[in-house]
Structure 1
């Protein structure tokens, strides 16, 4: 039934280009009190009333912990080149340091073996936000310098256990959210609301990144393994020529606070100046920046939308209250909602051109680093219906989104960008952090009551892309009318 909506591809990726999908441990695993796992800051945060939409938690999520074989078979059916997943630090080290939970480590070792058995390359992220609660209690989490050294030891343990088999390693995923959303705005775990703490956390994440890279270099033995970091380097565009200062301000605190230390070995001078009312940066000790700046084999980039910014015309530095904002300096910036753009279910503007230009610009800025799109995808409302006596999810909006962004990635390649892979976010519908279970990003639908998996149209689209390495299109006309605009006429599965 899905095949009637898919056309042959016309843009072909080279055989060396990696195609796959991604997930994160706390968003899919469940089993939070099983297998010796300890609590994470997201367990604590999600069980705090009022923090998560609908009072949701990740206690069960997509229950990947108990459905791992089924999910692996779905990955094999998709024909993925690679699968990116994160390791739950508290599952491997329940207290965050010292004691290793061998049962937790064995879970990931078996996952890696099962992927390789199916011809899928493992892409491991060491930290996708689920910091052990014990480290938050003991050191203040990423506020504490000690957490960076605990992360080094954790990286060393995982590297020694899995380093003979894992193809790609990422130290962190989106340290922006770990620091500024977690310790500055309070939107994410652990819920801190202090800009000085957010900047301190950002530095300790940078430091821990460098320490972890060194630990992986000591322990990883797979000869072709590559070490990276997955950054949500924002694509920032000034709303007008008069708003370039807004773009500079946001670029400093959103992007260069991480790319500076990690990729250049320095904090930008303008960032230090912009944030002097919050901190004197005395937590940056001699030798830290040399540790942060470790050679990488790959740069991971997560892309969802273009950030259109302008200066806040009502900002008055003499009367404006400093603090209580999303990030340092955000009171000076406005984010522009472009009315002409189509939008995702998360109300994010859809601009494939932004991804194309972003990849080209990043390749020019960091010419020595190959780039992998480690996350790109979209949330849209989904409905499971019955077509040809089978359950189906005709997620045309998501499929069109992925098609457009894969095409944008291909255009970036033709313009000389050094892009080596593209991973869809996400393999499964999952716990979407503070938004709970409302947004669905998966190409495979998960019924959160029965945990039944149903591949969506977008999954069939990705399967075709992986099989042919050519970008499949969508039919226009009768096929789309039959299964798209008229989808409400089909019986809905309710149980």
Structure 2
């Protein structure tokens, strides 16, 4: 068994062994067959029969062609035009041009032995106005992508919404703040089921609706950028009520789409449908009862906000008590529609924080984040949160990714999956996102040698396997992301990809982590 220090030294040897990046041509970067990566004993055989390994992206982050071929603007196309909002005032007008380069990207996936690709469908590329007239050029693009994935042996996993509400609906009725969005979203989903469902058998309704509601309507950090005046630099909004209204309509939209699929398509198409939820693990800072309750409040306000209604037909009791009349209520008919509205749940898991009870009176400012009444901590007794190991060289190298919020805490993966198993009836889970980032300005040679990312994936997958071995019903894992891409507020200053993208030429260069996965997945699919 290798110690972390030996793994670190092994990585250095690999770096010395690899030829300079100038020796590689686009999409042909490879390491000599004699180089063996440390997979920590993991292989396909380590996971249950039929376990799916894939990569993930989203339409807005990779497609480009934001203003062409009939696509209508989304709320993010408007949001990015606000000066100073995005790093270097970048836009996703071109992104990494998967719209034209999808074959190349799918070929890379196939060469790396991946089984599946989780992509999202841009609502405004299909319906430029959100409703009504269909943009058939957009439909044709997704048909090409799906067909080519299948031709290359890659299973398509289609997500219907990844932050990108059509701007037309924002203008028409304030988007997610209106109940009208429920039918319009269900109609969009219905069209996708009808058009692509003969080939797509795995559907997701929303990616990270908590992020949409919290960052879009509590602090205004994401589109449509709404919040109370005392919270952030927003032109309009109410952080005390709007996050809960938006979340309520997101849940109803999800359930309405699932109802359409089950009533009209599922029996014939024989597919499955679920939702993708982000879940940071919240660990009590101390063993005190107060800190344990604070951590539980954080979990309820985070993943419970959406998963609790879908599994149990109501919001968590903690939310009902704290939010009170500001929390919308489901009618009896809506409870019937919402409860049980998933065949699986996708969990996006990246990091873990300590939580503590701030021992403060009720805050004067009423807003979603303050409703938690919980404090965040990133170290305990001077020790940063992270891997439970002793070798300092390893700890310092792995403590944090480039993004300020992303601490490398592998054991959080195990706790998240165990929590879902124990609190929500052990549903079918797809680990739908997991990864870490490097700075956007990293050079090609340095970017290719992403040993830190390899160790991140290895450690998190080891913890996932531990949860599976103990009975968690996890059936797949999707690495975020296939490509370096447009990273929302960070623009192109953050690189999450296992494939390096030269943003000037848009050439693709698989990193060491890509070939680590190729070795991991080299065994016979079972």
User: TM-score by structure 2 length?
Assistant: 0.83
CA contact 1:184–1:327 (8 Å) conserved in 2: yes
CA contact 2:266–2:272 (8 Å) conserved in 1: no
Could you tell me which of 96, 103, 107 is aligned with 2:130? 96
* 3-state DSSP of counterpart to 1:307: strand
Q: Which residue of structure 2 lines up, in the alignment, with residue 202 of structure 1?
A: 247
Find the aligned partners of 1:296 and 1:392 in 2 and give their Cα distance: 39
Q: Which residue of structure 2 lines up, in the alignment, with residue 226 of structure 1?
A: 272
Confirm whether residue 371 of structure 1 aligns to residue 371 of structure 2: no
* 3-state DSSP of counterpart to 2:454: helix
Confirm whether residue 419 of structure 1 aligns to residue 419 of structure 2: no
Find the aligned partners of 1:228 and 1:207 in 2 and give their Cα distance: 13
Find the aligned partners of 1:378 and 1:222 in 2 and give their Cα distance: 39
Could you tell me which of 50, 69, 80 is aligned with 1:35? 69
* 3-state DSSP of counterpart to 1:128: coil
Find the aligned partners of 1:469 and 1:265 in 2 and give their Cα distance: 42
Q: Deviations over 1:15-61 (max 9, x none)?
A: 41100100001011110011110000000001111221221111111
Could you tell me which of 349, 360, 371 is aligned with 1:329? 371
Shift of 1:392: 7.0
List alignment gaps of at least 5 residues for structure 1: 471-495
CA contact 1:163–1:221 (8 Å) conserved in 2: no
CA contact 2:498–2:514 (8 Å) conserved in 1: yes
Q: 1:178 to 1:8 in 2, by over 3 A?
A: closer
Q: 1:437 to 1:326 in 2, by over 3 A?
A: farther
Q: 1:79 to 1:96 in 2, by over 3 A?
A: same
Find the aligned partners of 2:449 and 2:524 in 1 and give their Cα distance: 22
Could you tell me which of 312, 337, 348 is aligned with 1:291? 337
Could you tell me which of 372, 382, 402 is aligned with 1:345? 402
Shift of 1:154: 0.3
Q: Please give the residue correspondences for 1:225-374 in structure 2 after superposition, counting only pairs within 5 Å.
A: 225-240=271-286, 241=288, 242-276=290-324, 279=326, 281=328, 284-313=330-359, 315-317=360-362, 320-323=363-366, 327-330=369-372, 332-338=373-379, 339-340=383-384, 341=386, 342-347=399-404, 348-367=406-425, 369-374=427-432
Confirm whether residue 6 of structure 1 aligns to residue 6 of structure 2: no
Q: 1:163 to 1:43 in 2, by over 3 A?
A: same
Find the aligned partners of 2:518 and 2:307 in 1 and give their Cα distance: 34
Shift of 1:222: 6.1
Shift of 1:452: 0.9
List alignment gaps of at least 5 residues for structure 2: 1-17, 19-30, 228-237, 387-398
- Which has the higher mean CA deviation after the structures are superposed, 364-373 or 404-413? 364-373
CA contact 1:159–1:220 (8 Å) conserved in 2: no
* 3-state DSSP of counterpart to 2:438: coil
Q: Deviations over 1:147-175 (max 9, x none)?
A: 11100000000000011111311101000
RMSD of the alignment, in Å? 2.0
Could you tell me which of 432, 440, 449 is aligned with 2:495? 440
Q: 1:294 to 1:415 in 2, by over 3 A?
A: closer
Q: Please give the residue correspondences for 1:116-131 in structure 2 after superposition, counting only pairs within 5 Å.
A: 116-131=150-165
Find the aligned partners of 1:370 and 1:280 in 2 and give their Cα distance: 28
Find the aligned partners of 1:47 and 1:287 in 2 and give their Cα distance: 41
CA contact 1:363–1:371 (8 Å) conserved in 2: no
Find the aligned partners of 1:409 and 1:253 in 2 and give their Cα distance: 24
CA contact 2:87–2:491 (8 Å) conserved in 1: yes
CA contact 1:445–1:453 (8 Å) conserved in 2: yes
Confirm whether residue 114 of structure 1 aligns to residue 148 of structure 2: yes
Q: Deviations over 1:301-348 (max 9, x none)?
A: 0000113211224x333xx4314x662415x32110124331111132
Find the aligned partners of 2:81 and 2:267 in 1 and give their Cα distance: 40
CA contact 2:63–2:95 (8 Å) conserved in 1: yes
Find the aligned partners of 2:114 and 2:302 in 1 and give their Cα distance: 32
Shift of 1:469: 7.1
Q: Deviations over 1:376-417 (max 9, x none)?
A: 00012374455xxxx971001111101111111111111111
* Aligned pairs, number: 459
Find the aligned partners of 1:116 and 1:39 in 2 and give their Cα distance: 29
Q: 1:296 to 1:385 in 2, by over 3 A?
A: closer
Q: Which residue of structure 2 lines up, in the alignment, with residue 491 of structure 1?
A: none
Shift of 1:5: 5.2
Find the aligned partners of 1:392 and 1:5 in 2 and give their Cα distance: 19
* 3-state DSSP of counterpart to 1:448: coil
CA contact 2:39–2:458 (8 Å) conserved in 1: no
Q: Which residue of structure 2 lines up, in the alignment, with residue 186 of structure 1?
A: 220
